[in-house]
Every structure is written in structure tokens, then in C-alpha cells.
Amino acid sequence: MIPEFIIKKKILEYLEEDLYYGDVTCVEGRNVVANIISKDDGVIAGVKVAKIAFESFGIEVFSSIKDGDLVSKGDVVMRVKGNSKDILMLERTVLNILMRMSGIATVTAEMVEKARNVNSNVKIAATRKTTPGFRIFEKMAVEIGGGDAHRFGLGDCVMVKDNHIAVVGDLVKAIRLAKSASFTKKIEVEVRSVEEALIAAKEGVDVIMLDNFKPWEIEKVITLLEKEGVRKKVLLEVSGGITPENVKEYAKTGVDVISTGYITHSAKALDLSLIIT
């Protein structure tokens, strides 16, 4: 769980964006009860974040479902009580967070289920294709949906990609340079061919990324690494164009990790509303 003070800081930043000129709609401030209601079926995410937001402004959350729960159209996600002005001030920001996070958790859970039906050990992981300023919540949503957050930032592991190799000029040289970066970090290398995958494995990297490989190409890589006795020494990650429609085909190959930007950049937000009762 992200520390609460970081969540509060992000919420205040979002409110500052929405309240730059204040709330110019004049309404009487009085105690009211409000329900957040789902208008879609899916996996709810962001409940803890929403509770922190409401409670930071003295609004009582006296009933809610849990992050990761399944919801159906018409379900009450959360019930709150407090000053009407504060609830209305928070309404859009809280709903935006809940809707976005729930959409990500929903599509992540769908892809996890499909992949693990054919490969029980595979992980569905996020990428850094996230919304600037909202990454921590998108990564949290992936985890709530049963996925892996992967890297939160550039410093989480040493990742050698095609552009790094282009700058250095040679795959082996790039790998050996990466090994000097930090003894505490895993080294992941993106390769462009079956032959490069074998080179990376023999150079002792921790993770090999097969980017934009077709399933039959991935199977060729696995066959070669097994033949050379190095398959069990590395994790194989596949990425590039993976969606709910084709995730099974990639999972069937026997890879360890499927990373996909789809779950963060293409997830449809869950439709939620706040209704004062």
C-alpha cells in the first residue's frame, strides 16, 4: 500500500486543479448522506483512496465494499455522511479516481483470468504507459485486479531496450555496461531475435523481454534456450500489442510474464455516480 501521506498529497494536487477558482456554485452547507453507486459491472478499485479523501475533510465513511470486490449495476459502493459543501467539492475528483482505477482493475482481472486458465504461473504486468501524475493509482489498480505493477519508475531495475543498444552499438557491450550500473538491481534486456535471446541468456541477464514477438517466435526462443540449458536461468517477458483478445495465445507459450500497456492506456472507466439521499 502506498503511504497515506503520499495519497493525501496527490488528492490535494487533484483538488487544486479542480478548485483553482474555488466552487462558485452557492449551496447551503448542511449535513447530508450520499451514496456512490455503480452503473456498470466490474471490479471496484480505489475505495481506500476515496476513504482517505473523504476522511481528510471530516466526511464520515460509514459503509463501503472492499477494493477488489465485484460490483454489479445498481450496487452501492460507498455511503458517506458530512457537510454537503465538502462532499460536492470532492465529488468529481473522488469519482474520477474510483472510475479510472476500477476500469483498470476490471480489465486486469479479465486478462489474468484468461491467461492463467492456460498458464497458471504467468504474471500479467503493467508498463510505464501511464497517465502523468496518476501512475501510483494506476499501478495500485493493476495490483487490485490481480496483476503485477512492474516498474514504478526508471530506477526500479536496469532495463536495456533497443534504443540503449542503438546508442551503445552492440548488445553484449550494452549488457556488460548495464551490469556495472548497480549490484542491487535486476537486469532486463529487450531482444529483437531468437539469436539475441540466447546471447542475453548466456550473458547472465535476469529477464529477457521479447518485444513484438509472435507466439510462434516465442516458442522458438523457448525451444532454443531449453536446448542450450539456459531456460531456467532467466525469466521470459513478452510485450507488444497484447490485449484481452490475444492474451491466451501468448500465455500458452509458457512465458513467465506478459506486460501490456493495454490495461492502463486502454481500460474503459467503470461508470459510477454520487447521489445525495
Per-residue pLDDT tens for 171-182? 999 999 888 888
User: What pLDDT does 27 receive?
Assistant: 73
Catalytic residue (one of 129, 185, 252, 268): 129
* 124 and 146 Cβ atoms separated by less than 8 Å: yes
Q: Confidence class of residue 235 from pLDDT cuts 50, 70 and 90? A: very high
- For the whole model, what pTM was predicted? 0.94
Instruction: Give the contacts of 4 (CB within 8 A, at least 6 positions apart).
Output: 52
Task: Using alpha carbons, select from 266, 263, 15 the residue that is nearest to residue 144.
Answer: 263
pLDDT at 167 over 70: yes
Of the candidates 69, 162, 206, 211, the residue annotated as catalytic is 211
Can you tell me the mean pLDDT for 75-101?
96
Give me the catalytic one of 67, 110, 143, 190.
190
CATH architecture type of domain 113-265: Alpha-Beta Barrel (3.20)
Catalytic, 211? Answer: yes
- The CATH architecture assigned to 4-105+268-276 reads Alpha-Beta Complex (3.90)
Query: Does the pLDDT value for residue 38 go beyond 70?
Result: yes
Of the candidates 92, 186, 227, 233, the residue annotated as catalytic is 92
For the chain, give every residue range classified as CATH 3.90.1170.20: 4-105+268-276
Domain with CATH 3.20.20.70 in the chain: 113-265
Split at pLDDT 50, 70, 90, the class of 95 is very high
* pLDDT in the model for residue 162: 86
Residues 185-228: tens digit of each pLDDT: 899 999 999 999 999 999 999 999 999 999 999 999 999 999 99
pLDDT at 168: 85
**What does DSSP say about strands 31-38 and 272-276: parallel, antiparallel, or unpaired?**
antiparallel
The answer to whether 4 is a known catalytic residue is: no
Active site annotation includes 161: yes
146: confidence class by pLDDT, cuts 50, 70, 90: very high
Closest residue by Cα to residue 182 from 202, 160, 197: 160
pLDDT attached to residue 64: 87
Active-site option among 9, 73, 161, 186 = 161
Q: What is the mean pLDDT of residues 113-127?
A: 97
Q: List beta partners, residue 71.
A: 42
Specify the pLDDT at position 81: 97
Burial class (CB in 10 A: 0-12, 13-18, 19+), 194: middle
Residue 129 appears among annotated catalytic residues: yes
Find the angle CA(180)-CA(226)-CA(259) to the nearest 5 degrees: 60
98 to 224, 265, 267: CA distances (angstroms): 45, 16, 13
Predicted local confidence at residue 169, as pLDDT: 86
- Position of cell 462558485? 24
pLDDT score, position 26: 65
Give the per-residue pLDDT at 19. 87
Average pLDDT score, the chain:
94
Single-letter code of the amino acid located at 117: N
